[in-house]
Amino acid sequence: MDLLKEKILKDGRVVGEDILKVDSFLNHQIDIKLMNEIGKEFRKRFKDEKVTKILTVESSGISVACITSQYFDYVPVIFAKKHEAFNLDLETYEADVFSFTKNRPYRIRVSKRFLSCEDSVLIIDDFLANGSASLGLVKIVKDAGGRVAGVGIVIEKAFQNGRKVLEKENVRVESLAIIKSMKNGEVIFD
Ligand code: 5GP
């Protein structure tokens, strides 16, 4: 997706060798025009899939998932929660995830009320690194007896393992920008 790649080159900032900061348009301040194009592109790529719900993980995935839903007939968006809270149901589907950016494990949870064996779920996330977050979401859909329609990623870092991990689960992965390397602060696309 050229518009996204141009934005990454213009406004993305490489931190170390493997973290891309995109807080000026995706992770902190949000560029809604770009988001709309991202939503449309996911629709184009998954147009032949039945999608009854979109699933993501808080917090950065929420904005992408909500805008994308508008191009899938406004299907409900569910975001997996990272923290236990009084307002979360006791009956939850859970998965343990290892945070790439925070370098620690955490548990994600989705109330059992919102997923069932009738759902065909599009998983959306902002980044694909080693695949732990997306894999956790795949597990949650499967535990609910649902079907994974696919995984839609805004930015994939192809020099990490995420795609391999997801394809092992027989899940279709569509990434809108695929980065081959980020050596010396320079983003090179696939
Ligand atoms: P994974 O679970 O695939 O290892 O990592 C994906 C998750 O970590 C995403 O939900 C995203 O929030 C975060 N993440 C991974 N790599 C990056 C990165 O380079 N930049 C930012 N901003 N987030 C990242």
CATH number for position 129:
3.40.50.2020
157 in Cβ contact with 20 (< 8 Å): yes
Question: Average pLDDT of 81-101?
Answer: 88
DSSP 117-180: TT-EEEEEEEEESSSHHHHHHHHHHHHTT-EEEEEEEEEEETTSSHHHHHHHTT--EEEEEEEE
* Residue 153 belongs to domain spanning: 2-189
175 lines ligand 1 (CB under 6 A): no
What would the two tokens of residue 83 be? 């923290």
Determine the distance separating the centroid of ligand 1 and the alpha carbon of 2, expressed in angstroms: 21
Determine the distance separating the centroid of ligand 1 and the alpha carbon of 101, expressed in angstroms: 6
20 lines ligand 1 (CB under 6 A): yes
19 lines ligand 1 (CB under 6 A): yes
60 lines ligand 1 (CB under 6 A): yes
Q: Give, in order, the Cα–Cα distances in Å from 121 to each of 22, 105, 180.
A: 26, 24, 28
What is the enclosing helix (H) or strand (E) of 97?
strand 92-99
Determine the distance separating the centroid of ligand 1 and the alpha carbon of 74, expressed in angstroms: 26
Q: Does residue 85 carry a pLDDT above 80?
A: no
CA of 23, closest atom in ligand 1 = 22
Rounded Cα distance between 47 and 88, Å, is 33
162 lines ligand 1 (CB under 6 A): yes
For the entire predicted model, the pTM comes to: 0.97
Q: How many domains are there within the chain? A: 1
Question: What pLDDT shows up at residue 86?
Answer: 73
Name the 3-class secondary structure at 66.
Answer: helix
* Mean pLDDT, all residues of the chain: 96
What would the two tokens of residue 124 be? 């959306």
Q: Does residue 44 carry a pLDDT above 80?
A: yes
What would the two tokens of residue 93 be? 């589907």
